[in-house]
Amino acid sequence: MTDVRPVNFGAGPSALPESVLEEACKGLLNFKGTGIGVAEISHRSKEFTSLVADLEINIRTQLDVPPTHKIIFTQGGGTGQFSAVVLNMLARHRLLHPDLSDEQRVMDYVITGSWSKKAVVEAKRLGGASVHIAVDSREKSKDLKSYDGIPAHEDFDFAADPALIYYCENETVDGVQFSNDENLPTSFPFHLLPAGGLWPLVADYSSSFMSRRIPRIADHAVIFAGAQKNIGPAGLTILIVRQDCIVDVDAAAKLGATPVPITMSYKTNADAGSLYNTPSTLSIYIAWLVLERSKKLGGIEYFESVNGRKAQKVYTALKEGEAKGIYRSKVKEGSGSWMNVVFDVLGDNADSKFLAGAEALGMKALKGHRSVGGIRVSLYNAITEEQTDRIVAYMNDFAAQNS
């Protein structure tokens, strides 16, 4: 099958390992020897509930999730969590500080790209607290309007006792990513967070979840991710939630907090072992297959080193092409994402020429997001080093032929 399938560099939903897809075909017909397909079997069957438990163990072990945190599977995608984190974290804050007015209650947002901006829009729409922008990277960009980098630590300004502190680890559209080396100026500035321990730190990890370690995972209140980049089909959303953030939202509502829709309540989902209502069974199954495979390959450390090399190769080709005047990175050096490399091809119609040439060589889905244009090379876990070498060779050839 490998020879005939094109390489899918899409940004999500994105490539899945071929061996997993082949295995999933079998499971669609006969799940774990039951004779019933995975899309047909009850989510309360012992075979399926044990798979959910297994998936959780797989994530907990590979990511080293501490016992202070629960893992919850839900639906609604990253966008669903833009709402759910606000509602659950405001409920928590209401229980801690019942007497604050909505103006006094603050939610801190770090804006580094299109997804964090969307999260801000939803937070403002829901209300219940004032939104404070800890930093907006556009204000630090070259043209004062693009998301082209992670701001310097001195540009961040956090509130004193916010209900949540929100950031997006990897902005897929804009190709900007926090570094996971704490010594770099493009890492998340943990050292600037307010004193006093249990931070209400919320992170959208949708586009890099399971691709490398999560720095200071224990210091996060909520980490969430849609599955459709590195670990499975769309439809599954994974949450890692610190237990003090799993609160009685109805008790908070009695004190004036916004009532939380039942499927969004962390407590409802956690208490029901992620089976309060019917979960996205097929996505859960495929995510399980993907993580079983990851475990055999060496887990998160394996992917961290492979993904690091893949990104480095593509950024090197980009830089060499920039020196020849063929490409222009959309992102400042040091802020580029490992998962989504974004750039323009310079010249009239040059993006289209680049895309057509890639397509002819069996490399697809390289077109940049409609809002920013250009090229976007997504390098999620299922993209192999060999496939990365193919796009790198093409980038080099294209630059040589057009310079």
Binding-residue total with ligand PMP (CB under 6 A): 12
- Is 206 a binding residue for ligand PMP by CB under 6 A? The answer is yes
CB of 97 to ligand PMP, least distance (A): 29
- Is 233 a binding residue for ligand PMP by CB under 6 A? The answer is no
Q: What is the amino acid identity at position 200?
A: P
Stretch that binds ligand PMP, among 77-85, 140-148, 323-331, 381-389 (CB under 6 A): 77-85
Q: Is the Cβ of residue 168 or residue 223 nearer to ligand PMP in the bound state?
A: 168
Stretch that binds ligand PMP, among 23-31, 97-105, 125-133, 165-173 (CB under 6 A): 165-173
- Is 207 a binding residue for ligand PMP by CB under 6 A? The answer is yes
Burial class (CB in 10 A: 0-12, 13-18, 19+), 360: exposed
**CB neighbour burial string for 193-202, b if at least 16 within 10 angstroms, e if fewer:** beeeeebbbb
Distances (CA, A) of 34 to 22, 40, 79, 283, 362: 18, 11, 35, 19, 38
CB of 113 to ligand PMP, least distance (A): 8
Site mask, ligand PMP, residues 103-142, x = CB under 6 A?
------------x---------------------------
Query: 35: alpha, beta or left, given left = phi > 0 and alpha = psi -120 to 50?
Result: left
The binder of ligand PMP chosen from 78, 175, 279, 299 (CB under 6 A): 78
CB 122 within 8 A of CB 82: yes
CB of 170 to ligand PMP, least distance (A): 6
> Which tokens sit at 269?
């989902």
CB 20 within 8 A of CB 286: yes
- Is 327 a binding residue for ligand PMP by CB under 6 A? The answer is no
In what helix (H) or strand (E) does residue 169 lie, and over which residues does it extend?
A: none
CB of 251 to ligand PMP, least distance (A): 29
Q: Which 8-state DSSP code applies to residue 30?
A: -
CB of 58 to ligand PMP, least distance (A): 21
Q: State the Cα–Cα distance between residues 214 and 181, nearest whole angstrom.
A: 10
Q: What is the DSSP string of 48-90?
A: HHHHHHHHHHHHHHHHT--TTEEEEEESSHHHHHHHHHHHHHH
- By CB under 6 A, what part of segment 7-26 binds ligand PMP? 12
Q: State the Cα–Cα distance between residues 269 and 122, nearest whole angstrom.
A: 22
Q: Is 3 helix (H, G, I), strand (E, B) or coil?
A: coil
The binder of ligand PMP chosen from 226, 279, 336, 368 (CB under 6 A): 226
Q: Is the Cβ of residue 339 or residue 392 nearer to ligand PMP in the bound state?
A: 339
CB of 225 to ligand PMP, least distance (A): 8
The binder of ligand PMP chosen from 27, 77, 128, 189 (CB under 6 A): 77
CB of 171 to ligand PMP, least distance (A): 6
- Is 89 a binding residue for ligand PMP by CB under 6 A? The answer is no
Q: State the Cα–Cα distance between residues 220 and 191, nearest whole angstrom.
A: 14
Query: Do you find a cis peptide bond into 13, omega within 30 degrees of 0?
Result: yes
CB of 230 to ligand PMP, least distance (A): 11
Evaluate the CA torsion angle 239, 68, 170, 90 in order and state its sign: positive
Q: State the Cα–Cα distance between residues 352 and 354, nearest whole angstrom.
A: 5
The binder of ligand PMP chosen from 56, 174, 204, 344 (CB under 6 A): 204
Stretch that binds ligand PMP, among 53-61, 164-172, 254-262, 368-376 (CB under 6 A): 164-172
- By CB under 6 A, what part of segment 168-197 binds ligand PMP? 168, 170, 172
- By CB under 6 A, what part of segment 333-352 binds ligand PMP? none
Stretch that binds ligand PMP, among 30-38, 71-79, 304-312, 394-402 (CB under 6 A): 71-79
- From start to end of 68-147, where are the E strands? 69-74, 106-111, 130-136
| Interface positions with ligand PMP (CB under 6 A) | 12, 77-79, 115, 168, 170, 172, 204, 206-207, 226
